[in-house]
Amino acid sequence: MPQEPYQTLSSRVVWRTPWYTLREDRIRLPDGSDGVYTVVERPGAVWIVPLLSDGRMVLIRNYRYTVRRWLWEVPAGGLPEDRTPEETARKELSEEIGGQASGIELVATFYTTAGISNERAFVFLARGVTLGQPDREPTEVMERHIFPVSQVMQMIRDGTISDGPSALAILLCAPHFGFEW
């Protein structure tokens, strides 16, 4: 299998938002024909699975304007260029649920939507979390809730947790808190 089957002929930024850049490339396809590929460029993001010292998990109920629904999620946020994933994870944990972790570890990474974007997700498990006052941005409309982990797993199985990256982050952390698969 060839290392680089697509050849980039030219590249230009066609739109910018504070959260991502839309890049349009003209490419040569493996069959020799030319085409266009548009990439949503994002610097990456973190998802943090927060466990209290009694083993229960903290979820947020998050309003998502994109789908006009309240979704069950774990704390998450985009990666600024001047912070490491772990620093960002600690910052989001603090801002979104007022959480401080006694320990935080990088458990996994994955690509969220490789068909259209280069965004890479960093999944952290935060243990021994204590809860204080959140410090949210005006765009963040969310509530904080605490559940036994067995109930969280059921909420993934039955579709109550419908935010994909949150569900995957929890499942990737699950073997680390006693739910083997």
Instruction: Map the footprint of a second copy across residues 136-155, applying CB under 8 A.
Output: 138-139, 141, 143, 153
Region of 28-36, 52-60, 87-95, 125-133 interacting with a second copy (CB under 8 A): 28-36
CB closer to a second copy out of 53 and 148:
148
Q: Residue 92: which residues within 8 A CB-CB, separation 6 or more?
A: 46, 48, 75, 76, 77
31 lies in the site for a second copy, by CB under 8 A: yes
Tokens (6 digits) for 42: 């994002």
Residue from 86, 127, 162, 177 in contact with a second copy (CB under 8 A): 162
Counting residues that bind a second copy (by CB under 8 A) gives 72
Nearest-approach distance from CB 173 to a second copy, in angstroms:
11
Residue whose tokens read 């600024």 = 80
Helix (H) or strand (E) holding 45: strand 45-52
Strands 45-52 and 120-131: parallel
Residue 177: half-sphere exposure toward Cβ, Cα within 13 Å: 27
| DSSP per position, 75-119 | -EEE--TTS-HHHHHHHHHHHHH-EE-SEEEEEEEEES-TTTB--
Nearest-approach distance from CB 50 to a second copy, in angstroms:
18
Region of 19-27, 85-93, 96-104, 127-135 interacting with a second copy (CB under 8 A): 19-27
CB closer to a second copy out of 133 and 139:
139
Residues between 104 and 133 that touch a second copy (CB under 8 A): 108-121
174 lies in the site for a second copy, by CB under 8 A: yes
| Alpha-carbon torsion angle 97, 100, 106, 109, nearest 10 | 10
64 lies in the site for a second copy, by CB under 8 A: yes
